Structure 1
Amino acid sequence: MNICLVSRELYPFQKAGIGVYIYNLTKSFNMNGHNVYIITSKENEMEHIRRLDNNTNVTVIGVDLGEEALLFEDFNYAYSYGVYNKLKQLVNHYEIDLIEFADFFGEAFFSILYKKVRGEFAHIPFVVKLHTPTYECNLANQIEEPETNLTLQEDYTIINVDYVCAISYFMKDTIANRLQRSDIHVIYNMIDNPDINSSEINVKQILHKNYVLYVGRLEERKGIDLFVKAAIKYLENHKNDIYFVVIGQDVLNLRSNKMVKDELIELIPKDLHDNFVWKMPMLQEDLFHYYRHAYVSVFPSRFEGFGNVCVEAMTMGSPVIVSNNTAMMEIIDVDDNYGISFSNDDYFDLYIKLTELLNDEQQRNHLSSLSKQRAEDFALSNIYPAQIQYYKSVIEQYKAGDVKRQEDILEHILLKNVDRVQYFIKENKRLTEEWSHLAKINEQRNDDINKFSEENKRILGEWEYSTKINEELNKQIYNLNLENQRILNEWEIMVSKHSKILAQLEEQDREIKNLFALTEDGKGKLEQKTIELKEVTELLQNKKFLVKQLITGKRGKKT
């Protein structure tokens, strides 16, 4: 069988009643070979993936609000619409035999609405499991205006779903009377016995104290104030060797706008503060150690649809005290055969019953034995057959066409408005995408313009630089022209001087030539004179010789 469970809460990510119920139900189905698809929050899906749970028979699907958040301002409507979208995707891929929704948060609202008005999911039966609707919680917490958009959303799902199954006869009668729905089936929650030996809790921290245990949210509906007041009364009248352990999530008191734990601590006399131990919600493996070693566990709820924690405590052999006029009377039996009850909303009666039990060890031991015996009735192995048989009967009845629906014009109008808003969102998305595209084009053009502007600046800068260079060059050319003119003038002067010098040189050259000619002429004359002189010299020499001969001849004659 393929079963889909829809719950925003999922243990161990949320340690609350519905989450534990979904966890145990899934475990029992999985053990018996069924496939389970859980639609929950996106955070739970991511945590499930992070823990690397490789169980192939269990698929966790997270609701991640996208378009839904645009359609609805109210988160619960948006989340319900997100669930509807996830279910459409799921049934398109798998043959789902049955879908069960938790009542809390009205998660089935849009799925039921589309099924009822437009015939979607027509082949799949829907079941809403009654845990405790918000309206009943608001009444028990004494909220001034218990009816809200959320309570109306939850009530619509309960009234219009194919089948309703309550977790107790008390819950069935409560809703049947308020919403006039009589076809409510009852199957108690199944409670698993975890492997406490795997827990890492320090048991010695628990064993060294004798304590009374409270487990539950710190809210008025759960009767935490009754527990604290009864504890104070006991401690003021008895020896202080008893401690009172409170395990639960602190919440805001909407009437006082204060945290409930702070208000409770203000109630407790300072000399008794050490007798109270406050713990946050914890894993069941750890919690069951506290159940096992408690003298007594007290569940003083003003309104309780079942009481998982009561059965859990009894599973570990803890004697229990519960408030009457709640579903927990179905657990301990109306004749108090398996526990002790006190008058609802009466802390003094709780004090009396608590004192009697704490002073009677034999009675505590007797109730401890009976607790274990009674808890077996709620074990997975005992509740599972009834659960699966109920699902099978629902599927058979649904196929036989026993479910009749009456449509309301307002439902059609609502869905048409949703369609219209969806159209506007899609059109807005299309226009936004076009605008984004145009914006990108414009951005590209702006980039091009910026590039052109930058290029223009660059060219202008280069032009300005070139202009400066040109001016500088013009100055240099002007200076060069001046220098050239100066050189030219000097050149002309030099040429003029050169011409004069050249003329002088030419004149000197002529004079030199004339002198040379005169020299040549003088040289010829000189040579002629030289010849003549030579001839004269020779003649003289001849004359000398003759003279000498003459002289010599005269001397010879004398001799």
Structure 2
Amino acid sequence: MHICFVCREYPPSKRGGGIATYIRGVAQGLCALKQKVTVVCASDDTRHDSQYKDGDVAVIRLSGGDFVIKGVEENTLLQKFRMFYRFKSYRKKLRNAVLALKDVDIIEVAEYGAEGLYFENIGIPVVTRLHTPMLMDHYSFSKMSFNRYTWKFWWQGLQEFKCIKQSKYITSCSTSLKEWTMKELGIDAERIKVIYNPIRIEQPPPSASQQKPTSPNGRHEILYVGTICDWKGVGDLCEAVSLLTNEGVNIRLTMIGKQGVYAELLKEKYQGQTWFNMQGFTPHEEVMQMYAQADVVCFPSWWENFPMVCLEAMSQGAIVLGSNSGGMSEIINDGEDGFLVTPKDAKRIVNRIKEILFIPTSEREKISSAALLKIKIDFTMDIILRQMITYYQRCINDYKINESQ
């Protein structure tokens, strides 16, 4: 089977994010299972094309992308409007690049960016992968309204909705995202197949002796990994740790992730507090070690699709406190292999952290082992990729039947 992934980002790229991580891991995993994989994506420098091999994965980077990356090309006022004047031409270039491959059996394209807009009726089945639409409002969990803050990406977001609605084959990274799509876009449940994001465990979990034991007399380490923004619940977490400190708990919160305006606001508010530790870039290998050494790894997001950081932390035997809003409730069984908390409430986070900090060592070891087992049984590459291959083959067969009628 020749599988073609069409995406906005693929490592190495200055635009790389969760989708890039997902596609690279899946592409390499499928090649290991003897599938042929090609990735068609954009060059960071939109003036140049390139083709090369990333292991067994064929990568085609196209020029003409509808974005500009600071420091890669000279930034001009006109370039800021590329999302409009290059939108159609770049998506047609994607379509032509896939058709030029001649032997593609199936295409997977993310809904994000609406890059599958011109893939209908080209003689190849197309799977639209739901990651999180641009116009999902993480504050109200509905579609964003049009205003002076959203106008820049409003039109492109509507094109994403168009791609989803016209797609016959749709996969979602979580049930939570599937249900949102059904509700907000009126998509029938049977059109959306939930296939979870897989994780490749490249770094083996530490032994029990390498993990940090809980000590009521020492400093408790709380770890957050991810973008530092309001809807990720980082502000709520900071407030919770501040309250715990005021109660006399010896604690430190370390935050690792992409920083922006909101991170600067948190620094201004809390910088100098003994518990506050916001780090810059940290190598992935080091982050994986920090998961296991923390007393609690906390992700109190207001909503999440299916975060890789939660899978990573559990794969290292970490004690995870996640949000019960969204995909983490599909990963964690509360009190068995991790813990869940209702977001947007610092006092609830305080109570759950205190509960976790003072559970017996034997109970921590039991939960840690259960977290490791959950990842191995349900979310490893081998398990998820076989589900994907089965689904792809089903789509190919269904498409052929419909084409012959």
Give the shorter-chain TM-score range. 0.7 to 0.9
> Could you give the per-residue CA deviations for residues 444-485 of structure 1, whole angstroms, max 9, x where no partner exists?
xxxxxxxxxxxxxxxxxxxxxxxxxxxxxxxxxxxxxxxxxx
Q: Which residue of 1 aligns with 2:174?
A: 168
Q: Which residue of 2 aligns with 1:24?
A: 25
> Percent of aligned pairs with the same residue?
26
Structure 2 residue 202 is the aligned partner of structure 1 residue 194: yes
Counterpart of 1:244 in 2: which secondary structure?
Answer: strand
Q: CA deviation at 1:84?
A: 2.9
The answer on whether the counterparts of 1:310 and 1:328 sit within 8 Å (CA) in structure 2 is yes
Matches within 5 A, 1:279-290: 279-290=279-290
Equivalent residue letter for 2:266: L
The change in CA–CA distance for 1:100 and 1:29 in structure 2 (over 3 A counts) is same
Provide the alpha-carbon RMSD of the alignment.
3.4
> Could you give the per-residue CA deviations for residues 175-210 of structure 1, whole angstroms, max 9, x where no partner exists?
01110111111100101112479xxxxx99xxx975
Structure 2 residue 366 is the aligned partner of structure 1 residue 366: yes
Q: CA deviation at 1:360?
A: 2.1
The change in CA–CA distance for 1:153 and 1:235 in structure 2 (over 3 A counts) is same
Counting matched residue pairs gives 375
Equivalent residue letter for 1:174: W
Cα distance in 2 for residues equivalent to 1:171 and 1:80: 27
Matches within 5 A, 1:188-337: 188-195=196-203, 210-240=220-250, 242-251=251-260, 259-268=261-270, 271-272=272-273, 274-333=274-333, 335-337=334-336
Equivalent residue letter for 2:231: R
Q: Which residue of 2 aligns with 1:96?
A: 104
The answer on whether the counterparts of 1:4 and 1:99 sit within 8 Å (CA) in structure 2 is yes
Equivalent residue letter for 1:266: E
Q: CA deviation at 1:319?
A: 0.7
Cα distance in 2 for residues equivalent to 1:402 and 1:167: 28
Structure 2 residue 114 is the aligned partner of structure 1 residue 106: yes
Cα distance in 2 for residues equivalent to 1:171 and 1:67: 26
Q: Which residue of 1 aligns with 2:64?
A: 65
Structure 2 residue 122 is the aligned partner of structure 1 residue 129: no
Cα distance in 2 for residues equivalent to 1:150 and 1:158: 13
The change in CA–CA distance for 1:403 and 1:299 in structure 2 (over 3 A counts) is farther
The answer on whether the counterparts of 1:100 and 1:128 sit within 8 Å (CA) in structure 2 is yes
Q: Which residue of 2 aligns with 1:84?
A: 92
Q: Which residue of 1 aligns with 2:74?
A: none
Equivalent residue letter for 2:114: G
Counterpart of 1:401 in 2: which secondary structure?
Answer: helix
The answer on whether the counterparts of 2:46 and 2:64 sit within 8 Å (CA) in structure 1 is no
Q: Which residue of 2 aligns with 1:357?
A: 356
Counterpart of 1:28 in 2: which secondary structure?
Answer: helix
The answer on whether the counterparts of 1:141 and 1:220 sit within 8 Å (CA) in structure 2 is no
Structure 1 unaligned regions, length at least 5: 198-202, 252-258, 405-559
Cα distance in 1 for residues equivalent to 2:319 and 2:45: 34
Cα distance in 1 for residues equivalent to 2:104 and 2:31: 15
Counterpart of 1:5 in 2: which secondary structure?
Answer: strand
The change in CA–CA distance for 1:65 and 1:49 in structure 2 (over 3 A counts) is closer
Equivalent residue letter for 1:262: E
Cα distance in 2 for residues equivalent to 1:66 and 1:355: 49
The answer on whether the counterparts of 2:9 and 2:41 sit within 8 Å (CA) in structure 1 is yes
The answer on whether the counterparts of 1:15 and 1:283 sit within 8 Å (CA) in structure 2 is no
Q: CA deviation at 1:97?
A: 0.6
The answer on whether the counterparts of 1:79 and 1:107 sit within 8 Å (CA) in structure 2 is no
The change in CA–CA distance for 1:364 and 1:9 in structure 2 (over 3 A counts) is farther
TM-score between both structures, scaled by the size of structure 1: 0.61
Q: CA deviation at 1:83?
A: 3.7
Q: CA deviation at 1:232?
A: 1.2
Cα distance in 1 for residues equivalent to 2:48 and 2:293: 32
> Could you give the per-residue CA deviations for residues 402-453 of structure 1, whole angstroms, max 9, x where no partner exists?
899xxxxxxxxxxxxxxxxxxxxxxxxxxxxxxxxxxxxxxxxxxxxxxxxx
Cα distance in 1 for residues equivalent to 2:229 and 2:258: 9
Equivalent residue letter for 2:386: P
Cα distance in 1 for residues equivalent to 2:85 and 2:383: 37
Structure 2 unaligned regions, length at least 5: 69-77, 206-210, 213-217
The change in CA–CA distance for 1:340 and 1:31 in structure 2 (over 3 A counts) is same
The change in CA–CA distance for 1:97 and 1:172 in structure 2 (over 3 A counts) is same
> Could you give the per-residue CA deviations for residues 272-298 of structure 1, whole angstroms, max 9, x where no partner exists?
1x4222233544333211212111111
Matches within 5 A, 1:360-439: 360-362=359-361, 363-376=363-376, 377-401=378-402
The answer on whether the counterparts of 1:68 and 1:81 sit within 8 Å (CA) in structure 2 is no
The answer on whether the counterparts of 1:99 and 1:124 sit within 8 Å (CA) in structure 2 is yes
> Could you give the per-residue CA deviations for residues 25-53 of structure 1, whole angstroms, max 9, x where no partner exists?
11211101112111222028999989x85
The change in CA–CA distance for 1:213 and 1:47 in structure 2 (over 3 A counts) is farther
The change in CA–CA distance for 1:321 and 1:311 in structure 2 (over 3 A counts) is same
The answer on whether the counterparts of 2:138 and 2:302 sit within 8 Å (CA) in structure 1 is no
> Could you give the per-residue CA deviations for residues 53-97 of structure 1, whole angstroms, max 9, x where no partner exists?
562x31111231189999994516725642431331332233101
Cα distance in 1 for residues equivalent to 2:138 and 2:32: 37
The answer on whether the counterparts of 2:49 and 2:61 sit within 8 Å (CA) in structure 1 is no
Cα distance in 1 for residues equivalent to 2:382 and 2:314: 17
Q: CA deviation at 1:364?
A: 2.8
Cα distance in 2 for residues equivalent to 1:393 and 1:19: 25
> Could you give the per-residue CA deviations for residues 303-343 of structure 1, whole angstroms, max 9, x where no partner exists?
1111211011000000111111211101003x543211111
Q: Which residue of 2 aligns with 1:179?
A: 185
Q: Which residue of 2 aligns with 1:40?
A: 41
User: Which one has a larger percent strand, Structure 1 or Structure 2?
Assistant: 2
Equivalent residue letter for 1:25: V
Q: Which residue of 2 aligns with 1:75?
A: 83
The answer on whether the counterparts of 2:49 and 2:62 sit within 8 Å (CA) in structure 1 is no
Q: Which residue of 2 aligns with 1:345?
A: 344
Cα distance in 1 for residues equivalent to 2:141 and 2:259: 14
Cα distance in 2 for residues equivalent to 1:54 and 1:304: 30
The change in CA–CA distance for 1:159 and 1:386 in structure 2 (over 3 A counts) is same
Counterpart of 2:402 in 1: which secondary structure?
Answer: coil
Counterpart of 1:89 in 2: which secondary structure?
Answer: helix
Cα distance in 1 for residues equivalent to 2:164 and 2:95: 19
| Largest Rg, 1 or 2 | 1
Counterpart of 2:136 in 1: which secondary structure?
Answer: helix
